[in-house]
Structure 1
Amino acid sequence: MSEHEPESWDQHRNRARALRRKRTENHPGGRSGRIVVKVSPAERDEIVAQAEAGGVTPARLLRDAVLRDDPPYTAEDLRELITQLFRAQTALRAVGTNLNQMAKATNTTGELADDLAHTLAAVRRYADRVGEVVDHLVPDGL
């Protein structure tokens, strides 16, 4: 197989098995059920990459993600968090524009703008809010 030739599913499965750090506990009676999930090539690549990074098979990665006892957030939570991040991004852009205008005025006149403290406080508020949203998304940190 060349460097640019895609890996077959069997080749990946064999490599993932070799990389697996620990075996999933046997289930009484075995695991005979099968669910087929269709994904795009990009989604497949992402699942495979995450499985490899975790040292597990793609099947185990998906099973563990779905059947975990304490899912970190629901799909609705995720949509709300994404909405909040977009709002914060928009607000930070507006504040950034204000800071650029103040910097230009300061460079031109040599005097600080009167509302600089207010603008910097807004930057801190929005940055703190973004941090809260990210902390909610990744509660245990990176």
Structure 2
Amino acid sequence: MAGSVRRQGATDGEAATEGGSQAGKAGRTRRTKIKGKARLREKKQRPAQSVRLSDHEHAIIQAGADAVGMSVAGFLAHSALAAARDQSRTAVTIATERDVLTELFAMRRQLGWAGSNLNQVAKALNSGGEVPYLKEVLADVHRAANAAKKAVDRVANRQEQEGEAA
């Protein structure tokens, strides 16, 4: 191979194919615009945290970060620190969510029982029988519907309060 010099499988003037340095590209710097507001930071290396989000959660957080001109990481850090500093509000929010979930599970049980009773009533009526407990079954259905309305109202009120606070 007279006249050619081999460097990582490439002749002079050709690009290297194995990930090594390439002629004419040394010293290139990245010119990316850093988005968001900078936070004051210590100069030493800090531990990094990782968060897994659904696409929907990420879209909500991205929109919040965009609205205040911050990066997603900065927005998450700022939001988490604000929540951690206000323990009483965080505890109230968690307790409210727990109460709503408990109420929703109870409502689901009530709806299951009411639906089962309603099916028994329908079967009895369709076969020509009498249903002496019809009023009780209808009362169960009304109780389940009221429980569902109450749970929906609590969730809607919480979302309205969170929207006003933001």
* Higher fraction of helix: 1
Would you say 1:39 and 2:58 are equivalent positions?
Answer: no
Identity rate of aligned residues, in percent? 29
Using the alignment, how far apart are the partners of 1:132 and 1:77 within structure 2? 14
Using the alignment, how far apart are the partners of 1:107 and 1:38 within structure 2? 59
Would you say 1:130 and 2:145 are equivalent positions?
Answer: no
Contact 2:121 2:131 in 1 (8 A): yes
**TM-score, with length taken from structure 1:** 0.57
How big is the shift at 1:95? 1.1
Q: Spell out, residue by residue over 1:24-80, the C-alpha distance to the aligned partner (whole angstroms, 9 max, x if none).
A: xx8xxx63369955222xx25232222456664645478568848977x51122112
Using the alignment, how far apart are the partners of 1:67 and 1:44 within structure 2? 22
Using the alignment, how far apart are the partners of 2:155 and 2:77 within structure 1? 19
Of the three residues 127, 131, 139, the one matched with 1:121 is 139
Number of equivalent positions: 113
Show the counterpart of 2:112.
93
Contiguous gaps of at least 5 residues in structure 1: 1-12, 18-25
| Aligned partner of residue 32 in structure 1, secondary structure | coil
Contiguous gaps of at least 5 residues in structure 2: 1-33, 162-166
The higher relative CO (CA closer than 8 Å, separation ≥ 6) is in: 1
Across the aligned residues of Structure 1 and Structure 2, the Cα RMSD in angstroms comes to 3.6
